[in-house]
Chains A and B, each alone.
Chain A
Amino acid sequence: MSSTSDAQIISLFHARDQKALSETQQKYGGLCHCIAKNILGSREDAEECLNAALYKLWESIPPAKPKNLAAYLSVTVRNLACNRRAAAKAAKRGGGELDVALSELENVLASPERPDAVLDTMALSDAINRFLGNLESETRVMFVLRYWGDLTIKEIADKCGVGQSKVKMTLLRTRNDLKAFLEEEGLR
């Protein structure tokens, strides 16, 4: 992993030094590749996605000066991957970890007794954000990595430096807590 700081990398972008791209890839490429691969289900597609994201970074910095380069790149990669997936699969579900994550969360976010109910996605997002705000950092991180980043259990365990059982248990309890929270809020 690169020891170059984010500030130094952004300076390279501003100086139009292409080393910025290699440093960014070295530092954050692994995580972003995981995110893209788990959405797209294909290593090759994920690599293309990452390359496209790096190109987008090159185009946008400057003038952009992201406070958190990791997050900036991750969001860019995820958006590209999601768009690519949507274009390829339309409304059908494809393969990959995203399906697994979705299947874990769908009965939490929506009541199985009302499968046809129209979801108020904005209200749910707001509620989830409030719910996340009350969690301990590590728990919140695991939730976000799983359901926003679509990382596998093992990838989350490796990143958080814990065992896979702990990740599974944490996510299980968090899903149960979220379900109860949404019921209290009347959103489920």
Chain B
Amino acid sequence: MREQDYMKIMNNLREDYISEAVSWDGTAQKNRRSIKRLSLGVGAIAAAFAVVVGGIGYGVYRERLSANSKTDPENSEIALEQLNLFGGHGEIRGYTLSRGGCFFRDDTNFYCYDAKWAIDGSSPIFPNEKTDLLTDGERLYTQHDNTLYITDSYGKETVFYTPETEMTFEEIWHLGGDNYFVKGVKITDDPGTYETPLPYTNAGFGVAFSALLNSAAKTLTETPEYITSYQISPEKGGLYWYAPEKKSIQFMPADDANNSRTVYSGIENAESWGVDAQTDILYYEVIERRDTEAGSDTAAAIYTLMPDDAENKQDFGIGYRGDYNTALIADPENDYPCYSYFTNQHCYGVMQKQTESGLRLRVMRNNIAMDDGEQVVFDVPMSDLYKGNLPDRMVRPEMVFLDTGDYLIFNLPPTDENSSGLVQVNLETGAWFLRDENASGDQPENSGDPVQQDSDSGLYGEDLASGYCSPQDFPQYYIPPENIDADNIECYRMLPFAKASESALDTAALGAHLPSGGAWSRRDPDAPRLTYDKAFNCITSGSELNAWVIMEELCKLSGGYDAEAYLNDNMLSDREF
């Protein structure tokens, strides 16, 4: 085709389509989309964790429970009653993430969405397949059959709430008494609504919602608009939420979704904010241009507001209040802007600081008002954290902080060269661990006794277990070499990054999922659409072992399973087409 013909065709695209495209705001759209496990306000932790998990590779399951599994001889002696819902030991404690999301710990591990790792750093990150647990910070919840249950650590359930229509819950916050703030997805058959991969019900379509739930009256009242940025305030009996169109932070009482009132006004494009419960002072950060002697530059500036006093916005200063360069604007030659992240209780400052020894990443932790003496919890050379070339400038990183009081876990800001990783800091001792495939591998500074993982080890050198499967989740399946030609295989598992057997089946390239029983089914696990034999034949007879070609073929054979949803599930951004 001649280039001028191509240009002519494209030059005649409708103007409104062009307007739509150039004006598209991906961030705003993401907030309105149903967000499976991504409702974290400030950052996309599931994306960060998924990239890390995918990059490192999966290890061996040692704590799986399945009545249908071919048991690993080593695990067959594990008594089921000793293991909690995660397959771990001890009572499960839940923590909520500010602005949404939750994570858990038991005696041994942290669990955060589809990742788990040993608290003491003795393990790398493993996949966590128990991803349907919720918490409001006090109790644990699970859901199935369109009902939300309170559960204990071992699966003993009591009914909490059954909605009138089909929906799935993604967040639950206790506002006091019988009142809760919840977020989730309403299931719909209408393909015109936002398509979403849903973790619990396998439905294909849904619309995100936020609502107040009263557990005694069994009522669910949707909020007038979908709330994305919020801070619960049980002490005041409700929640603060950011209304972008009104440029204000409103307060919604726990028992009246339709009666919000403006508390802080004149707030535009707040990047991050928090209300100090003791003083009622709002702290919020915006990115704005400021004039300097050298010209003007953008900066992350923090302002404060008292309730109902919009005229008296106070300039709190640039970024996080700390002992960094005193210039009004961070000098790109020396320091970089410091970004603040507010949670319900704390403010975290993240900055890159140029020192005589080189560039360092520093994280500070303080209460929201930053008046309690800041604690530098992390101060490490950037070269210890990132392989490859360091960026000239770090754009505002999307970060999430998991704070248990004794540990702080956060994702490293990604750079152009390196994917994000996880850092876990012991707040009492200062020891920290890094979980990232691009770690330099050298003994990091300021560490206690961290475990250095071998980023080249692939599957961590463990023998691959075979036969584990779960009828509840979407496990990965492995085809052991001895089973390639077998006829009577009950369930299989393919591990990504596993090298092919003699059959030349490159499971590393596939990363495919086959549910238990060998059937390919996304919508309804009990009604398989594709038998294992057909899937297996498709995979092994593919003329080109291109992962996406085979994936598309499997999708077609299974009657239109949504590969796009699969991609969203797995964030396989490193895979080649």
Residue ranges of A at the interface with B (Cβ–Cβ < 8 Å)? 1-3, 28, 31, 67-68, 70-71, 74-75, 79, 82, 86, 89, 91, 93, 98, 102, 105-106, 109-110, 119, 121-122, 124-126, 128-129, 132, 136-138, 140-141, 144-145, 147-149, 158-166, 168-170, 172-173
Contacts and interface: CB of A to CB of B under 8 A. Distances in A.
B30 interface: yes
Contacts of A2: 289
Interface string B1-32: 11111111111111101111111101101100
Interface stretch (B230-238, B300-308, B562-570): B562-570
Contacts of B9: 109, 119, 121, 124-125, 128
Which 6 pairs from chain A and chain B are nearest by CB? Answer: A161-B26, A125-B12, A71-B19, A144-B21, A106-B1, A160-B26
A148 B18 contact: yes
B156 interface: no
Contacts of A125: 8-13
A134 to B, nearest CB: 11
Contact of A70 (B8, B22, B288, B572): B22
Contacts of B1: 102, 106, 109-110, 119
A148 B391 CA distance: 30
Given A102-B1, A102-B3, A144 B13 contact: yes
B564 A161 contact: no
A159 to B, nearest CB: 6
Given A3-B268, A141-B21, 4 more contacts: A161-B26, A166-B567, A169-B563, A172-B548
11 contacts: A71-B18, A71-B19, A71-B22, A102-B3, A106-B1, A109-B9, A119-B9, A122-B12, A149-B22, A160-B24, A165-B573
Contact of A129 (B2, B13, B19, B563): B13
A165 B20 CA distance: 22
Contacts of B314: none
B325 interface: no
Contacts of A165: 567, 571-573, 575
Contacts of A86: 4, 7
Interface of B: 1-15, 17-24, 26-27, 29-30, 47, 195, 268-269, 287-289, 548, 563-564, 567-568, 571-573, 575, 577
B17 A147 contact: no
B4 A91 contact: yes
Contacts of B6: 102, 105-106, 109
Given A122-B12, A132-B13, A138-B29, A145 B23 contact: no
Q: Which of B268, B568, B573 has the most CB of A within 10 A?
A: B573
A53 B11 CA distance: 17
A102 B12 CA distance: 16
B19 A141 contact: no
Nearest to B50: A163
Given A3-B268, A93-B3, A141-B24, A163 B567 contact: yes
B26 A140 contact: no
A124 B577 CA distance: 28
Contacts of A145: 21-22, 24
A162 B26 contact: yes
A116 B19 CA distance: 34
A46 to B, nearest CB: 16
A164 to B, nearest CB: 5
B205 to A, nearest CB: 12
Given A121-B5, A172-B577, A147 B564 contact: no
Given A122-B12, A129-B14, A144-B13, A173 B22 contact: no
A140 B20 CA distance: 9
Contacts of B20: 137, 140-141, 144
Q: Which of A93, A121, A137, A138 has the most CB of B within 10 A?
A: A121
B17 A144 contact: yes
B23 A70 contact: yes
Contacts of B268: 3
Contacts of B563: 169
A132 B10 contact: no
Contacts of A126: 12
B21 A140 contact: yes
A143 to B, nearest CB: 8
A166 B548 CA distance: 12
A149 B19 CA distance: 11
A161 B7 CA distance: 27
Given A102-B3, A102-B6, A159-B24, A164 B13 contact: no
B518 to A, nearest CB: 25
Given A102-B6, A144-B13, A163 B19 contact: no
B26 A68 contact: no
Given A159-B24, A170-B564, A71 B15 contact: yes
Q: Which of B47, B548, B567 has the most CB of A within 10 A?
A: B567
Given A105-B6, A119-B5, A121-B5, A164 B22 contact: no
Q: Which of A68, A109, A144 has the most CB of B within 10 A?
A: A144
Nearest to B194: A136
Contact of B18 (A89, A109, A144): A144
A3 B288 CA distance: 8
B16 to A, nearest CB: 9
Given A82-B7, A105-B6, A166-B567, A68 B23 contact: yes
A67 B23 CA distance: 12
B568 A166 contact: yes
A164 B416 CA distance: 13
A181 to B, nearest CB: 14
A133 B73 CA distance: 58
A91 B13 contact: no
A121 B8 contact: yes
Contacts of B13: 125, 128-129, 132, 144, 148
B533 to A, nearest CB: 27
A159 B567 contact: no
Nearest to A122: B12
Q: Which of B17, B20, B573 has the most CB of A within 10 A?
A: B17
Contacts of A67: 19
Contacts of A164: 573
Nearest to A144: B21
B564 A173 contact: yes
